[in-house]
Amino acid sequence: MKEKISEIESDILKESLSNAKEIENFRIKYLGSKGKIKGLFAWLKEVPNEEKREAGQLMNGLRNKAQEIFDTAKEKLSTTSEEANKIDLSRPGDQIEVGARHPLSLVRSEIIEIFNRIGFTVSEGPEIEDDWHNFSALNFPPEHPARDMQDTFFIEKGEKEMALRTHTSSVQVRVMENDKPPIRTISPGRVYRNEAISARAHCFFHQVEGLYIDKDVSFADLKQTLLYFAKELFGEKAKIRLRPSYFPFTEPSAEVDVSCTICNSKGCNVCKYTGWLEILGCGMVDPNVLEASGIDSKEFTGFAFGMGVERIAQLKYKVNDLRLYSENDVRFLKQFTGGI
Ligand code: PHE
C-alpha cells in the first residue's frame, strides 16, 4: 500500500506541467474521477482496519500534494499567458508612411486641370513614333536639323523609320487625323532627345502641348488663352510677353515669357536679371500642317503651344537641377505635397 502511494508520489513529481495540455492531462491522470488517486481511495476498503487510518492520511496527503501541484501550475500558466496578451494602450501606434506624389505629376495634373476648365480634353499617343507623325506631317523639311541623329533617338532607320518621339506634337497629328474640328485638346507625355545629361538638359523630359482648331481662331485667342493659363498657374499678378520665334509647324510662331515670380520682375539670378522667364513655344498652326492631316485650311485655323513640365516645376518649386526629377531619391521626393 505504502509502496503504491510513494510510487504515485514520485510519478507526480516527475510530470512536466509546462502547458495547458499537460496540466489537463495531469488532472485527468491523478485527480479525475477515474484518476489514480481516486482509484487508491476505492482500494481503501480492502485495507485491514488497523492500517486504514494511516493509509487514509497518506492518501489524503498525496491528493493534497497533487492538487497543490496542479493549482500552482495552472496559476503560473494563466499569469504568463495574461502577460503575453497584455495590450499596452499607452504605446504609440505604428506610423503609417504617407507617400507623396512626384513633383512632375503634381505640376502635370495642375496644367491639365487649368486647361480642362476651359474645355480642353486630354489626348495621348505612342512614345515610339514614325517619321510622319513626329516630323513630316508637322512640316519639317527633309533636311531639317531636328531630324539629325544629334537630337533624335532612332529605333529603326531606313524605309520605315521609327524613333522615340521628340515632342508630343505627334499626338496632335493623330488627333487631327481622327477627329473633325472643333478640336480643343492637350497632350501630356514623355519625350526624348539625344542630349548629354547635365543639370540643364536630360535625354528625356515631359511636355504638355495644346491644340485648338476651329473656324476663326486668331492669334488674339492664343494670347488670351496663354495669359489665362499663366495667371492660373503663377497667380493673378502674372504677366506674359511674346517674342517672335520659329517652328516648322506654326506660322507665325512665338516664344512666351512669364514675369518672374521669384523676384516679382525686379531681377534675380533665376530670370538672369531680365524679370522674365521663358515657359513655352506657340504659334498659329501652319496651313500645311492642317492640310497634311486632312483639315481644310481655308475653312479652319488654329493655334498650338507646347511647354516642358520640368521647366514649369523648376519655377514652381525652385529646383534647378533637372537630374533630381529622375533620380528617385526619396529625400527629394518627400518634399512635395499636393492633392491626388
Ligand atoms: N513642339 C515644340 C517643341 O517640342 C513646342 C511647340 C508646340 C511650339 C506647339 C509651338 C507650337 O519644342
Of all atoms in ligand 1, which is nearest to the CA of residue 169?
Answer: 1
Same structural domain, 182 and 305:
yes
Same structural domain, 134 and 193:
yes
Of all atoms in ligand 1, which is nearest to the CA of residue 281?
Answer: 8
The pLDDT of residue 339 is above 60: no
Tell me which range, 4-8, 87-91, 196-200, 246-250, is most confidently predicted by mean pLDDT.
246-250
* pLDDT score of 340: 41
Same structural domain, 154 and 297:
yes
Query: 185 C-alpha to center of ligand 1: Å?
Result: 14
Query: 190 C-alpha to center of ligand 1: Å?
Result: 14
Same structural domain, 153 and 204:
yes
| Mean pLDDT over the full length of the chain | 89
Q: Specify the number of domains making up the chain.
A: 2
DSSP one-letter code for 43 = H
Same structural domain, 58 and 24:
yes
User: Does residue 218 belong to any structural domain of this protein?
Assistant: yes
The pLDDT of residue 163 is above 80: yes
Q: What does the block give as the cell for 257?
A: 515669357
The pLDDT of residue 156 is above 90: no
More confident of the two residues 41 and 289: 289
Q: Tell me which residue has cell 479652319.
A: 300
Cα 129 → chain centroid: 27
pLDDT tens, residue by residue, 97-141? 777 889 999 999 999 999 999 999 999 999 999 999 999 999 998
Helix/strand/coil percent split, the chain, to 5: 45, 20, 35
Is the preceding omega at residue 287 within 30 degrees of 0, hence cis? no
**Ligand 1 pocket at CB < 6 A:** 167, 169, 209, 247, 250, 281-283, 304-306
Pick from 250, 272, 249, 271: nearest CA to 261: 271
The pLDDT of residue 167 is above 90: yes
Query: 336 C-alpha to center of ligand 1: Å?
Result: 28
Same structural domain, 74 and 156:
no
Query: 119 C-alpha to center of ligand 1: Å?
Result: 21
Same structural domain, 252 and 134:
yes
User: Does residue 130 belong to any structural domain of this protein?
Assistant: yes
Which of these three, 82, 115, 130, is where a domain ends? 82
Question: For the purposes of burial, counting CB atoms within 10 Å of the CB of 248, is it exposed (0-12), middle (13-18) or buried (19 or more)?
Answer: middle
Residue 3 — pLDDT band, cuts 50, 70, 90? confident
Same structural domain, 209 and 324:
yes
Query: 102 C-alpha to center of ligand 1: Å?
Result: 24
Residue 287 — pLDDT band, cuts 50, 70, 90? very high
d(CA 49, CA 57): 14
- Expressed as residue numbers, the domain containing 46 is 2-82
* Ligand 1 atom 4, closest CA: 167
H helices present in the chain, as ranges = 2-14, 20-26, 36-43, 49-85, 103-116, 131-134, 169-178, 219-234, 287-292, 309-317, 330-333
| C-alpha dist (Å) from residue 200 to 30, 323, 324 | 86, 8, 11
| Among the ranges given (13-22, 38-47, 64-73), the one the predictor scored with the smallest mean pLDDT | 38-47
User: Does residue 338 belong to any structural domain of this protein?
Assistant: no
Torsion, Cα 207 245 185 302, to 10 degrees, reads: -170
Same structural domain, 124 and 59:
no
pLDDT tens, residue by residue, 170-192? 999 999 999 999 999 999 999 99
User: Does residue 238 belong to any structural domain of this protein?
Assistant: yes
d(CA 78, CA 69): 14
Same structural domain, 165 and 293:
yes
Query: 207 C-alpha to center of ligand 1: Å?
Result: 9
d(CA 148, CA 4): 105
Of all atoms in ligand 1, which is nearest to the CA of residue 191?
Answer: 4
Pocket test for ligand 1, best of 140, 151, 167 (most atoms within 8 A of CB): 167
User: Does residue 114 belong to any structural domain of this protein?
Assistant: yes
Residue 150 — pLDDT band, cuts 50, 70, 90? low
Same structural domain, 180 and 44:
no
Same structural domain, 142 and 204:
yes
